[in-house]
Structure 1
């Protein structure tokens, strides 16, 4: 880490994540090592009991061995606009944590702050939900129609869903991950369009399943992420582009709005 930033492991999470990503790609490895074995075992048991016990479950004793780590990608950090009670524009839908855009954090939130926000917003949202149910108990406006599946067939190739799901996950990690380029984003956009057409064709002809519905949702979210990333001509917070490494003097709006 000192070769990437003088603050080493205490640098902001975006710098640490990019440094790890750089070393993984440079050396063609799957992970880097985080070593805290220089601290006494008593210190680790007192300060990191959960990490210590969790690593032991995987056969890693962090008092003597380094921890294999990879960076986690925050594709939509602060993506869904909410009020301070977690309400979204959709009645009955609440969002908290890193999926929510509450206004409490900027583009590069810190881990401890986001955990604290989850606790506070969860409590606030629970109170708001209780109040909403007390004032407006849910009643469906009309009975739901009977599901008609007379014109669809049983899916005889479930592997299509599994394969597309896995391909989308790998595609987003490799092309739309922590460090991005215009070329990778363009490739991702092209492949996502092909995946969408395959999934839509499957959806129209086979019996619906939870996995298929979630796959359609994943493709929609992936397309929005790529389109948003393509429109950004800077690097800010958790978003870093090799083609646009500098930050604009004035931040552009980051919230997608429906076209009226």
Structure 2
């Protein structure tokens, strides 16, 4: 136990800045502090052994290191360099644990999205589960699947439901008011796809389904909103949607104070 009477937790890597696109870690941190946890968020993940340096070398006396998304630790344009970054990450976690700290890992994704070497990352995740003390799964339905794929005993994992964002976004408004604010059609249903526009999400398939079922969706609107992966991908989606009835694409990031309008407008 550390020199403080409170449990001291280091959360890595952490994005709790005011510009964070996902407020998950901000809300989690606030809730843990409210429960009496002494918490520090550490956003840095570059350099040699960043977890060990944050947790041990600074002599802050942490009890637990809580690891979240791990994709940022893996770099390299070729398989060799990528594998070296995987080894470096595993060594970082190992020496941190050997220093006497408990390690907890929340699994946010089965495999990071849009990566070149998914096999190497899966191998790394299988090594990581051997080193951590506890694993947190946010979805009860996927716990056994992840345990099978990562090859660990399910009893090592704990299911903790993903928290809500109700206190982050404004309250819903009348649908007609929201549609007017967003310049959307007053009639028909609005089908909303909101979030980062990235290739792995299959938005092209969504557009194809919409196109192939115009008899069902006649008079309705498909609204696709979010920050695109890059300009080329945004252009690709807009070209696919060109000429399709009822498709509206807003390739832009939506601020938190506007999100409630999109949810209110949709059916």
Same fold (TM over 0.5): no
Determine which structure has the larger helix proportion and give its number.
1
TM-score range, shorter chain: under 0.3
TM-score (normalizing by structure 2): 0.22
Determine which structure has the larger strand proportion and give its number.
2
TM-score (normalizing by structure 1): 0.22
